[in-house]
Amino acid sequence: MNNYLSKILLISILFTSHLYSKIQLIKKENLDSNTTLLVIGGIHGDEPGGYFAASILATNYNITSKNLWIVPNLNKPSIQRNLRGLYGDMNRKFSILQKKDKDSEIVEEIKEIILEKKVSLVLNLHDGHGFYRKENHGKIFNPNAWGQTCVIDQCDLSENQPFGNLNHIASQVKERMNKKLLKEHHSFDVRNTNTKFDDEAMQLSLTYFAVTNNKPAFAIESSKNLSSLSQKVFYQLLAIEEFMNIMGITYSRDFKLNEKNITKIIKNYGNLRINNNISLNLADIKKSLSFIPIKSKSNEFVFSHPLGSIRKVHSFYNVYIGNRKVTNLKPQYFKIAENYDEKFDVIVDGKLISLDNTSNIYVNDDFKVVKRDGYRVNIIGFRSRKHKNESGISIKLKDLNQNFSIDKSNKIYRVEFYNNDEFCFMTKVHFR
């Protein structure tokens, strides 16, 4: 995508975030078409195959023609707690819903998005139990199972509706997917709930809301009985790619679609920025970090990962990527300095360098933050009874208490800068 289109995309994302206050809508758009696939993950919080697939779609795919919209984490409170629905089943709230229902704002917003004129087809991502078979072959393989299915509410929409032949499209997706299975018993099939006549519960669902408004909609169900999250995500992405192929949406991805690569991507939790003056890499972070210098209220947490979220429990901040609790932040409240230098000087292995604040310091042997008038440096894990200000002191790895490292390997430590006891920013020192 060229720079101009990238700027258009960025503006679109920022605008949408303002428009839909409860929903994260990521748009990957081109100027050549109004054809748009809307992918929704996380309507059920205990079905991670769907929302981790949606997050990878957002971060690792480039759309080169037509449009892809992604809602990676529709039901964030339920995802954090790994529950189907914290306030009841959200996928049964698309008919009549009282305003006092705690899901009402989210449901109304996703309805608005589904009904946008540009949306051509909707995919709702799920993990379902068992492996669907038209004949009964035991508890796991039977007609009551939902796993490994492309679910439709009816065979067709109105005659002239693009992508309205739901059964034909679902059958195409099934046939193409079944040529790329990881194991033979993972086979996909089409499950038609014939919702209008046979399934009252499904009449309350997101996909039925869509089709009754003449929007083609499908549910993709990977099996909960697959052996790994990576397998679930593999089949979700495989299905989404087949839908994009049918819709003429062209794309590229920065990885080869297989279990090994998906596992690697899932483990990449990305970065968390707090108040624009703290940056934490979440990949190898310890389960708990203490004395994090933040404000007593109105803190801003910004994740690079689409599934990143914060849940405050009492005075602590739990950090999540999807349903995975990555770390717990125990705060120490400070007033945040409004004005401070954008750079700092440090001597690393005998060489003087100048770095932007929050930049990382990479050290082989030792480092020393250069003293600057008006600033106090606190190196977390270094104890000095003589010095309140720890700038101007040469620090080696052996001088630091491992209990205060950021990472599990005990190689990364925090360096905090203060001005008149107001917190300015934090950088990190990495020992190689």
Mean pLDDT, residues 261-277 taken together: 97
Burial class (CB in 10 A: 0-12, 13-18, 19+), 50: buried
Tell me the C-alpha distance between 263 and 261, whole Å.
Answer: 5
Residue 312 clears pLDDT 80, i.e. is over it: yes
Question: 12 in the Ramachandran plot: left (φ > 0), alpha (ψ -120 to 50) or beta?
Answer: alpha
Tell me the CB-side half-sphere exposure of residue 8, using CA atoms within 13 A: 10
Mean pLDDT of the chain: 94
pLDDT, tens digit (0-9, with 9 covering 90-100), for 24-39: 999 999 987 899 999 9
Can you give the pLDDT at residue 19? Answer: 52
What local confidence, expressed as pLDDT, does residue 13 receive?
40
CA distances, 117 to each of 36, 189, 213, 360, 403 (Å): 9, 30, 11, 46, 55
Alpha-carbon Rg for the chain in angstroms:
25
What's the order of all strands across the beta sheet hosting 343-348?
351-356, 343-348, 366-369, 395-396
The residue type found at 227 is: S
Residue 332: the pLDDT is: 96
Distance of alpha carbon 359 from alpha carbon 369, whole angstroms:
13
Q: Provide the pLDDT for residue 16.
A: 39
Residue 183 has pLDDT above 50, yes or no: yes
What integer is the mean pLDDT of 155-161?
91
**Strand, coil or helix: what is 157?**
coil
Residue 1 has pLDDT above 50, yes or no: no
Confidence at 158, pLDDT banded by 50, 70, 90: confident
- pLDDT category of residue 160 using cuts at 50, 70 and 90: confident
Report the distance separating Cα 279 and Cα 273, nearest Å.
4
pLDDT of 33: 87
Q: Is 87 exposed, middle or buried (0-12, 13-18, 19+ CB in 10 A)?
A: middle
What dotted CATH number matches 3-266? 3.40.630.10
Coil, strand or helix at 399: helix
Question: Of 39, 15, 54, whose CA–CA distance to 305 is shortest?
Answer: 54
Six token digits for residue 307 = 């599934």
Domain boundaries, the chain: 3-266, 271-333, 343-431
Is residue 207 helix, strand or coil? helix
Confidence of residue 44 (pLDDT cuts 50, 70, 90): very high
Q: How far apart are CA 376 and CA 217, in angstroms?
A: 58
What pLDDT was estimated at residue 407? Answer: 97
Judged against a pLDDT cut of 50, whether residue 17 lies above it is answered with no
> What DSSP string describes 30-98?
-SS---EEEEE--SSTT-HHHHHHHHHHHHHEEE-SSEEEEES-TTHHHHHHT-S-BTB-GGG-SSS--
Q: What is the pLDDT of residues 217-248, one digit of tens each?
A: 999 999 999 999 999 999 999 999 999 999 99
| pLDDT band, very low/low/confident/very high, at 87 (cuts 50, 70, 90) | very high
Secondary structure class of 110 (helix, strand, coil): helix
CA distance 345 to 354: 4
Q: What is the pLDDT of residues 319-359, one digit of tens each?
A: 999 999 999 999 999 999 999 999 999 999 999 999 999 99
Please, which contacts does 373-376 make with residues 24 or more away whose CB atoms are closer than 8 Å?
374/419, 374/420, 375/340, 375/341, 375/417, 375/418, 375/419, 375/424, 376/417, 376/418, 376/419, 376/421
User: At 53, which amino acid appears?
Assistant: A
pLDDT band at 387 (very low <50, low <70, confident <90, very high): confident
Per cent of the chain over pLDDT 90 is 91
Q: And the tokens for 133? A: 């078979």
Is 265 a residue whose pLDDT tops 80?
yes
Give the model confidence (pLDDT) of 100-151 as tens digits.
999 999 999 999 999 999 999 999 999 999 999 999 999 999 999 999 999 9
